[in-house]
Structure 1
Amino acid sequence: MNHLKSWQYRLLYIAAGALALSGALWLAVHYLWGAGADNLPHPLEPWLMRLHGAAVFAALFTAGMLAAGHVPQGWRMTTRSAKLRVRKAGQRRTGLALCALGLIGISSGYLLYYFAPESLHAMLGWGHAIVGLALVLLLPLHGWRKLADAGLS
């Protein structure tokens, strides 16, 4: 099996949770409580972006850790059982989707922070948020498939 160690699971879910929470809170503050009559951002917005940026560093470290061991090992795994082969194929699909969405999320976040023209900022920001939501929803599914492979679900 290709299970993560408990500290790796904790790091992964803490980083993902911090990213999701800080991003969701920023969206709520910006769109629900931000820009009053003076059209200035809410005072919490920069702090939430700083938290989001710090969580990105933890997520990138975690992604590097997974890219070095978990991902290549998952691609090399084979099985003789047809039922298990089907589950592993599904797990590979969710893993590949997580990698692709992670790359899109990193790229869109980088573009938002450094390069996005103001005219594209809102559209790119919503796309970034949707990718983040998809990652948060897909991550437990990938983990659940691992548990199903081990016969623990």
Structure 2
Amino acid sequence: MNHLRGWQYRALYATVGALACSGVLWLAMHYLAGAGADSLPHPLEPWLMRLHGAAGFAGLFMAGVLAAAHVPQGWRMTTRNLRLCQHKAGQRRTGLALCVLGGLAALSGYLLYYFAPEDLRALIGWSHAVLGLALVALLPLHGARRGRPGE
């Protein structure tokens, strides 16, 4: 079995929850609250971005925690047992997708903060939002695919 330890599970879901909530709330404040080309930003927007950035650092830390043991151990286990148990192939696919989505979300977040020229900012921003939401949707599916006792 390759289950996360209790603290890892709690820290991962708290981090993903903080990222998702701060990101979705920022989108709502930015695009829905006082929506209009000439309106001022909502006063909560900078605070939500600060929270999102702090949660992003926690997310990078958790990615490192998972990359140190959970990911390589899971890869070895599924390589060894792929023919014996088909659900492990699905877990490998969702795990690989989570790694790719997480990497692309981190890259797009970096680009938004440090690089994004004005003509690409909206495209990168919406790509970042879609990547984050896909990651949030896929994470519970990956956990639900874990083997039952005795597998």
Task: Confirm or deny a common fold (TM above 0.5).
Answer: yes
Cα shift readout 1:4-58 (whole Å, capped 9, x = no counterpart): 0111000000000000000000000000014558532111100000000010111
4+ runs deviating over 6 angstroms: none
* 1:24 partner letter: V
Superposed CA offset, 1:71-112 (max 9, x none): 000011123863x2x111110000000000000000000000
- Cα distance between partner residues in 1 of 2:82 and 2:142: 21
Identity across matched positions, percent? 70
Q: Name the SS of the counterpart of 2:2 in structure 1.
A: coil
2: distance between equivalents of 1:72 and 1:32? 42
- Whether 2:65 is the aligned partner of 1:65: answer yes
TM-score normalized by the length of structure 1: 0.91
Alignment match, 1:79: 81
Counterparts of residues 118-129 of structure 1 (less than 5 Å): 118-129=118-129
Once residues 72 and 61 of structure 2 are traced to their aligned partners in structure 1, the CA distance between those partners, rounded to angstroms, is 17
2:92 is aligned with 1:92: yes
Aligned ranges 1:1-153 → 2 under 5 Å: 1-34=1-34, 39-77=39-77, 78-79=80-81, 82=84, 84=85, 86-146=86-146, 149-151=147-149
Distance in 2 (alpha carbons) for counterparts of 1:80 and 1:135? 24
Alpha-carbon contact 2:82-2:89 (below 8 Å) kept = no
Whole-Å Cα distance in 2 between the matches of residues 122 and 94 of structure 1?
A: 28
Structure 1: runs of 5+ lacking an equivalent? none
Once residues 101 and 37 of structure 1 are traced to their aligned partners in structure 2, the CA distance between those partners, rounded to angstroms, is 31
- Superposition CA RMSD, Å: 1.7
Question: Secondary structure in 2 aligned to 1:33?
Answer: coil
Distance 2:53 2:21 in 1: 12
Aligned length: 148
Counterpart Cα distance in 1 of 2:103 and 2:68: 16
TM-score, structure 2 as length reference: 0.92
Q: 1:73 to 1:79 in 2, by over 3 A?
A: same
